[in-house]
Structure 1
């Protein structure tokens, strides 16, 4: 039954409705619930109410939690801020696993395992991001491999496991060779497409890491197409129209950008700070020693 806003005992304070974040976390990590079956409805300044599939919702993204109006499963609204419905309250029989430490900790969206281009490749990318990417102050240029990832408390243990799993993975070449978009209802996220040499090396690297941390599967399950390696550079709104097309055409002229993928990076965000590299794990090296940054 839905959790009601009032208590059954006279004189007791009404029970609080769970927050949208609490319900999201339950759906995302309760093994009995399928996140792909849920949709989040949220308010926008431009077009009123919009919806997004729960697996595509970024907890650290542009949609603030207070704008989430409801969450539905099929035609059933399971949580509604205004009518104070919470059909999932009490459905979980056990608390979520601890997210404090350990390789089986629950993933969090304050950490990531990513491929960071070398700084000599940043200049043309950052020139675009400074003007068009809302996340430029939060992230460096990056290609996420696992996000969410383990909490930072587990990084030391994770680094050794990663180094052991990747000791036979040789460095490879990455070329940012095209500008593409993830289309949304009110706009688009613009990204650079990374092509690896040998072909498929980037996808194989991500698959091996996900096999090592199977709970960190968001990047491969967020869409029906599976893992899509990408380096985000901008957000365009629907009203950008022809201006947006001209920008994309201009950005294509800076390509290709080629660099060597020689390490993967464990990133975390502390408080309101930006994401920072905590460890770098070299590819093709048998020891986890070194690589701290």
Structure 2
């Protein structure tokens, strides 16, 4: 049975649902449950999740804590929801990510720049985060089927890495290579499919700009000129995403690979691709 917070976030973020059609029942001491419109409920407010005792859609009970009813994924008066189990509303951490790693032949010029400018080179391989933060590694067994379902919806595509840009921060800038020069659509589709299944991950309030970080600098212009001189436009097939996790003081490592178009999962953890010129991980 799903938890009340999972049902709430499932309804709120999946576009197949209309939150206006949902009502939540809130337990009241010595009185019948109070009915509250789902859109009026404030997560993390005065009402804890254990006091949410039912959900209704168009007057039909679709989730009930006492009886074990869990029918949000069924058709209720024309309401079509996701299949059961396709949302994992677990708070995100910052030691895991769902990302794309460029193929090994593209690493050399990228790592050459990162060695001089990226303090995170010992912690991260060259990567494009599609969802970060992500659920803790202990939740990967539950997360993998959902990642597989999300990636099965997007076929492999060709990415063009071209154009160097920067994000401005309060102190300095992050300079990055654009992996979406051939078009944002497939990246956005991947991101949306994952966000629907992991509604508490990804920092959605900040938007999504696919990027491959090259380094940080107080003044981005010298680094941009250097990167533009060294990085000719490159293309690569995006055929899989990886689940990265960092354990203890070690760097982010591939724990699972999930293929686009099929959702096939390779469970064996793999080391970074051989022959990469990056520095060894910190001990």
Normalised to the residue count of structure 1, the TM-score between the two structures is 0.59
Distance 1:191 1:106, change over 3 A: same
Structure-2 residue corresponding to 1:230: 211
Q: In 2, are the aligned partners of 1:181 and 1:190 still within 8 Å (CA)?
A: yes
Query: Pairwise mapping of residues 49-60 of structure 1 onto structure 2 (< 5 A)?
Result: none
Query: Pairwise mapping of residues 35-74 of structure 1 onto structure 2 (< 5 A)?
Result: none
- CA distance, structure 1, for counterparts of residue 176 and residue 159 of structure 2: 15
Whether 1:161 and 2:137 are equivalent positions in the alignment is no
- CA distance, structure 2, for counterparts of residue 126 and residue 111 of structure 1: 21
Match of 1:132 among 117, 121, 126: 117
Query: Pairwise mapping of residues 197-208 of structure 1 onto structure 2 (< 5 A)?
Result: 197=182, 199-208=184-193
Match of 1:192 among 162, 177, 189: 177
Distance 1:290 1:198, change over 3 A: farther
Aligned alpha-carbon RMSD (Å): 2.5
Q: Deviations over 1:72-104 (max 9, x none)?
A: xxxxxxxxxxxxxxxxxx9776599xxxxx932
- CA distance, structure 1, for counterparts of residue 92 and residue 46 of structure 2: 18
Match of 1:280 among 248, 257, 260: 257
Q: Deviations over 1:170-207 (max 9, x none)?
A: 11111111110101233111111112646511111111
Q: In 2, are the aligned partners of 1:173 and 1:198 still within 8 Å (CA)?
A: no
Whether 1:259 and 2:243 are equivalent positions in the alignment is no
**Per-residue deviation, 1:217:** 3.4
Whether 1:113 and 2:94 are equivalent positions in the alignment is no
Please list every run of 5 or more consecutive structure 2 residues that lacks an aligned counterpart in the other structure: 1-8, 10-43, 51-86, 271-283
Distance 1:139 1:286, change over 3 A: closer
Distance 1:135 1:104, change over 3 A: same
- CA distance, structure 2, for counterparts of residue 235 and residue 286 of structure 1: 35
Match of 2:222 among 246, 249, 259: 246
Normalised to the residue count of structure 2, the TM-score between the two structures is 0.61
Q: In 1, are the aligned partners of 2:159 and 2:236 still within 8 Å (CA)?
A: yes
Please list every run of 5 or more consecutive structure 1 residues that lacks an aligned counterpart in the other structure: 1-30, 32-89, 97-101, 239-243
Alignment coverage as a number of residue pairs: 191
Q: Deviations over 1:228-265 (max 9, x none)?
A: 11111110014xxxxx5233112113221211111011
Query: Pairwise mapping of residues 143-162 of structure 1 onto structure 2 (< 5 A)?
Result: 143-162=128-147
Further displaced range: 251-260 or 194-203: 194-203
